């Protein structure tokens, strides 16, 4: 896999390149919008990581160009916008401009990899599919969790927590990612609210005999797994 990183912080780019190489990802790094345009015209990338504050302008202008199809081969390339601050207005602007996702700096490589996996999933891959973990069956189309044919009664936020954890089952999901998934952009997040949802969800999964557990990693996030 080959990814284009448009980022003017050399140190970060080099650290990221080293980290991604370990996962068999080749990182092409360019520090400016002008060089990014050249790189995109030269070769097709599987995804683009795009910083916003660049020496020759806002990364979103490149995104607009990409989506308008000037470099036809790169028109649909998944773009993850990197934002210095995780401000809501920045995220919304990025998503509105056609970004597939955003990531607030600083971020963990593991989280970047998870986001990449998500944006690189082929369309339709997740649609109408039933995912099984332990004894739990989850229907993505109808957004329904069941154990042995019996549907679990989950309110919206518990459902969102379960979906988010399930999508990345076996991997740690950062607390911030869960909060974003559960609360969206509009709602205010109350501290500990997430933990309350998790604990109710845990209880329901245990009562239903789902055979999966939500493992908490203090200060980092949660991980959903089916114990062997
Ligand atoms: Ca920058």
Report residues of the chain scoring pLDDT below 70.
Answer: 69-74, 85-86, 121-129, 141, 184-189, 191
Query: pLDDT tens across 62-89, in order?
Result: 998 888 766 556 677 889 999 876 677 7
pTM of the model: 0.53
- In the prediction, which pLDDT does 106 show? 86
Neighbours of ion ligand 1 (CB under 5 A): 8, 51, 53
CA of 31 to the centre of ligand 1 (A): 9
- Cα separation, 225 vs 221, in Å, equals 13
CA of 77 to the centre of ligand 1 (A): 21
- In the prediction, which pLDDT does 184 show? 58
CA of 189 to the centre of ligand 1 (A): 28
**Among candidate residues 110, 70, 107, 55, the one with its CA nearest the CA of residue 86:** 107
- In the prediction, which pLDDT does 124 show? 39
């Amino acid at each position: 896999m080959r990814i284009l990183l448009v980022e003017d912080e050399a140190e970060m780019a080099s650290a990221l390149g080293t980290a991604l190489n370990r996962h068999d990802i080749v990182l092409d790094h360019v520090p400016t919008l002008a060089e990014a345009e050249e790189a995109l015209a030269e070769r097709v990338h599987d995804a683009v990581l795009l910083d916003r504050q660049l020496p020759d302008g806002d990364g979103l202008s490149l995104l607009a160009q990409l989506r308008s199809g000037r470099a036809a081969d790169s028109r649909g390339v998944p773009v993850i916008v990197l934002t210095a601050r995780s401000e809501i207005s920045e995220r919304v602007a990025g998503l509105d401009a056609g970004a597939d996702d955003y990531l607030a700096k600083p971020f963990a490589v593991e989280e970047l990899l998870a986001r990449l996996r998500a944006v690189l999933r082929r369309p339709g891959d997740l649609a109408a599919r039933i995912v099984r973990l332990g004894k739990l069956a989850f229907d993505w189309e109808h957004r329904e969790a069941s154990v042995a044919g019996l549907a679990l009664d989950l309110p919206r936020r518990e459902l969102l927590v379960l979906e988010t954890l399930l999508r990345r089952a076996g991997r740690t999901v950062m607390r911030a990612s869960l909060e974003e998934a559960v609360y969206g952009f509009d709602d205010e997040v109350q501290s500990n609210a997430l933990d309350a949802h998790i604990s109710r969800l845990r209880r329901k999964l245990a009562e239903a005999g789902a055979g999966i557990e939500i493992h908490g990693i203090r200060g980092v996030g949660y991980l959903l797994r089916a114990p062997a």
